[in-house]
Amino acid sequence: MAVQDEIKNQEILDYLGQMNGPVPGQSLTSDPDNPYPWEKPPTHTTINSAVHALFDFMTEEETYVEIVSGLGEGMPVLNLAETLLEDGFYKGAWNTDLMLQLLEPTMYMLMSMAEKAGVTYRLDDEDDPEIEDADPQDELATLQGLNDIARNRIQSENPVSQLPQEIQQELDDFEVPESLLAKPSQELPQESESLLARG
């Protein structure tokens, strides 16, 4: 074997030695008396209970300021919702099935909070408000279609695709914290046209 091949193999071994991921079957050797939070029964087993818990967490002043700041800096609503839900899963708040069902209500709450603070938000990585290539009439038609979809889903009778009525009311009545409005160093973007506007 050439010296160059030996060096290359050693570099590969060194790289693999830095990996800290679990080995196959490692979860079967964990202590059953001290399970991880996600290995225990979840705290919330219904959408209603989980949405209320999420709303309470997201409207804490410090959390709210971080959420709105992140959305204002361009973090997509979808990415932030996934981050919040994955964090809840790892803390044992819900299982993976409920986590998937919570994605849509969480996105609606985030959009509503951003609108309350007058922050322009992006729905996902492909939603770029800076792109001006599209025809204004096409953009208006797309926005109207999204608005109609959002309104129909919120007013739907399907409990999976809507926020509980009391949460919607609390979002409507929610006051933006003073500390968010008082930050002189942070300029909030112009208010976006609401996807949640009621007709």
- In this prediction, residues 146-152 reach a mean pLDDT of 60
φ/ψ region of 64 (left if φ > 0, alpha if ψ in -120 to 50, else beta) reads alpha
- Position 18 in a domain: no
Task: Tell me what pLDDT residue 50 has.
Answer: 92
Task: Tell me what pLDDT residue 149 has.
Answer: 58
Highest average pLDDT, of 50-54, 59-63, 141-145, 194-198, comes from: 50-54
- Position 66 in a domain: yes
- Position 91 in a domain: yes
- In this prediction, residues 176-185 reach a mean pLDDT of 56
Query: For 155, which DSSP code?
Result: T
- Position 86 in a domain: yes
Residue 160 has pLDDT above 50, yes or no: no
> Quick one: pLDDT band at residue 190, thresholds 50, 70, 90?
low
The H helix count followed by the E strand count for the chain is: 9, 0
- Position 110 in a domain: yes
- Position 21 in a domain: no
Orientation of helix 77-90 relative to helix 61-72, angle to 10°: 140
How many distinct structural domains can be found in the chain? 1
Tell me if the pTM is above 0.85: no
- Using one digit for the tens of pLDDT, what is the confidence trace for 51-67? 999 999 988 888 888 88
- Position 94 in a domain: yes
Task: Tell me what pLDDT residue 184 has.
Answer: 47
Residue 123 has pLDDT above 50, yes or no: yes
Q: Give dist(CA 125, CA 103) in Å, integer.
A: 16
Of the two residues 12 and 111, the one the predictor is more confident about is: 111
> Quick one: pLDDT band at residue 180, thresholds 50, 70, 90?
low
- In this prediction, residues 39-59 reach a mean pLDDT of 90
Torsion of CA 51, 56, 59, 60, to 10 degrees: -150
- In this prediction, residues 139-165 reach a mean pLDDT of 58
- In this prediction, residues 143-149 reach a mean pLDDT of 62
Residue 155 has pLDDT above 80, yes or no: no
Task: Tell me what pLDDT residue 133 has.
Answer: 54
Q: Is 28 exposed, middle or buried (0-12, 13-18, 19+ CB in 10 A)?
A: exposed
- Position 101 in a domain: yes
